[in-house]
């Protein structure tokens, strides 16, 4: 009995040693066989549609490159993880990418609360990470050399929206209605900043929880303030409830939102009240595509997933973000030392030209050492809900 126990212990130690050896010499983010890229996004829960769209964009980009024999002969392997909308899970995923899976880079995002929690970990782990959706400016900023935004930055979105409202509706009396999480609060702060830079301030700021089903109080107060336009930053159904509450009190003013307005649940919940509301995006998939890559992307999506991605911006940003990442990896010589490879990748992303004709726009130098956000005002497209379909708005 005793000898068999010793034998088992010896075998166990042997396995441990072998496992350790394998780890130090073997598979890494830039192993001989594949190049590992981590994908972190919410794939379950109420916001899963957004994460799923990012993943679809990244997956299509990966398949295109792999069909062309990968990057310098090495295939890309995606390590996809679901953050479940939980910041602590998001943090663990970044650590898993950096330490266990040893991916050369990561891509993803969506929920700002998760992205904000992940940002310092990305920095401390020194993992290049493309933020494909998450509007909070603080996740891609000076002092954060490892994050690169192919996303709509709330500050840029607010400037674009203010300009759109002033040009098209000749008013700057704006009420901000936002959900009380990172996404809505970030957007509200950005609009306040944009207004302040023009010597203005919002006439009303109202917030709500994503669990609320009734927004009567918020819209009543916003109307009382004399607002002539609503900057709406809820997510999905909550935006629908704001619109139905506006309908109930008979308040009709232009409503401008962003990512939280693109879910089909918005027109489903709000019905006719969603008609004519504006949605800021970086792409629109309804109608013919002017950009060659956009058409190719949609054709592939139909073939691969059986349908066009349900959310334009997250899928387009996931696709373009992944492509930019692959272009950058192509430019470095992988050494097998994951830390060195990540450092080299960061330098290429920050400094070098990455020419690529994407779904959203033509990229020349996507990022600079001073600016890690590649989506600017000219990349934006104003969309509008029309009979349950998100179409490109005539007003741009």
The residues that touch other proteins, with contacts defined as CB under 8 A, are 44-49, 180, 206-209, 211-214, 216-218, 220-221, 224, 236-237, 240, 244-245, 247-250, 263-265, 268-269, 271-272
CA distance 285 to 271: 21
CA distance 63 to 75: 9
- Of 119 and 244, which CB lies nearer to other proteins in the complex structure? 244
In the complex, minimum distance from the CB of residue 68 to other proteins, in angstroms, rounded to a whole number: 32
Question: What 8-state DSSP symbol labels residue 387?
Answer: T
In the complex, minimum distance from the CB of residue 278 to other proteins, in angstroms, rounded to a whole number: 21
CA angle 68, 72, 77 (to 5 degrees): 70
Could you give the residue ranges of the DSSP H alpha helices within 198-335? Answer: 216-224, 237-248, 265-270, 292-305, 312-330
CA distance 175 to 171: 11
- Of 49 and 320, which CB lies nearer to other proteins in the complex structure? 49
In the complex, minimum distance from the CB of residue 49 to other proteins, in angstroms, rounded to a whole number: 6
CA distance 134 to 154: 9
- Of 241 and 380, which CB lies nearer to other proteins in the complex structure? 241
In the complex, minimum distance from the CB of residue 277 to other proteins, in angstroms, rounded to a whole number: 16
Distances in Å between the Cα of 250 and the Cα atoms of 9, 40, 243, 246, 253 are 76, 42, 10, 6, 10
In the complex, minimum distance from the CB of residue 297 to other proteins, in angstroms, rounded to a whole number: 22
Do 315 and 57 touch, CB atoms closer than 8 A?
yes
- Of 213 and 335, which CB lies nearer to other proteins in the complex structure? 213
Sign of CA dihedral 368, 369, 374, 378: negative
- Of 214 and 299, which CB lies nearer to other proteins in the complex structure? 214
In the complex, minimum distance from the CB of residue 96 to other proteins, in angstroms, rounded to a whole number: 22
- Of 223 and 300, which CB lies nearer to other proteins in the complex structure? 223
- Of 159 and 206, which CB lies nearer to other proteins in the complex structure? 206
- Tell me how far the alpha carbon of residue 211 is from its chain's centroid: 22
In the complex, minimum distance from the CB of residue 249 to other proteins, in angstroms, rounded to a whole number: 6
């Amino acid at each position: 009995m005793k000898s068999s126990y010793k034998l088992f212990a010896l075998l166990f130690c042997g396995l441990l040693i072998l496992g350790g050896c394998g780890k130090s010499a073997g598979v890494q983010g830039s192993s001989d066989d594949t190049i590992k890229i981590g994908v972190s996004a919410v794939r379950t829960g109420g916001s899963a549609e957004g994460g799923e769209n990012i993943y679809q964009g990244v997956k299509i980009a990966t398949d295109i490159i792999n069909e062309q024999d990968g990057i310098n002969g090495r295939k890309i392997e995606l390590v996809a993880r679901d953050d479940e909308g939980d910041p602590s899970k998001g943090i663990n995923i970044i650590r898993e990418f950096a330490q266990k899976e040893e991916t050369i880079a990561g891509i993803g995002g969506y929920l700002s609360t998760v992205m904000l929690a992940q940002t310092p970990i990305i920095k401390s782990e020194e993992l290049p990470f493309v933020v494909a959706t998450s509007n909070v400016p603080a996740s891609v900023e000076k002092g954060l050399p490892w994050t690169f935004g192919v996303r709509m930055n709330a500050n840029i979105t607010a400037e674009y929206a203010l300009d759109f409202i002033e040009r098209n509706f000749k008013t700057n009396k704006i009420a901000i209605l936002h959900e009380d999480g990172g996404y809505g609060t970030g957007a509200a702060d950005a609009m306040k900043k944009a207004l302040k830079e023009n010597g203005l301030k919002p006439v009303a700021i109202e917030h709500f929880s994503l669990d609320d089903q009734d927004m009567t109080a918020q819209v009543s107060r916003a109307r009382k303030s004399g607002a002539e336009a609503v900057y709406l930053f809820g997510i999905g159904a909550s935006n629908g409830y704001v619109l139905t509450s506006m309908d109930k009190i008979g308040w009709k003013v232009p409503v401008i939102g962003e990512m939280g307005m693109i879910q089909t649940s918005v027109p489903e919940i709000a019905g006719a009240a969603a008609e004519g509301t504006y949605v800021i995006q970086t792409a629109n998939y309804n109608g013919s595509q002017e950009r060659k890559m956009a058409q190719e992307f949609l054709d592939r999506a139909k073939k691969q997933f059986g349908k066009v991605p349900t959310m334009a911006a997250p899928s387009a940003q996931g696709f373009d973000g992944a492509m930019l990442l692959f272009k950058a990896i192509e430019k470095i010589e992988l050494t097998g030392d994951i830390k060195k490879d990540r450092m080299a990748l960061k330098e290429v992303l920050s400094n070098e030209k990455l020419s690529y004709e994407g779904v959203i726009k033509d990229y020349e130098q996507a990022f600079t050492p001073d600016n890690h956000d590649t989506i600017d005002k000219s990349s934006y497209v104003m969309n509008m809900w029309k009979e349950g379909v998100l179409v490109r708005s005539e007003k741009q």
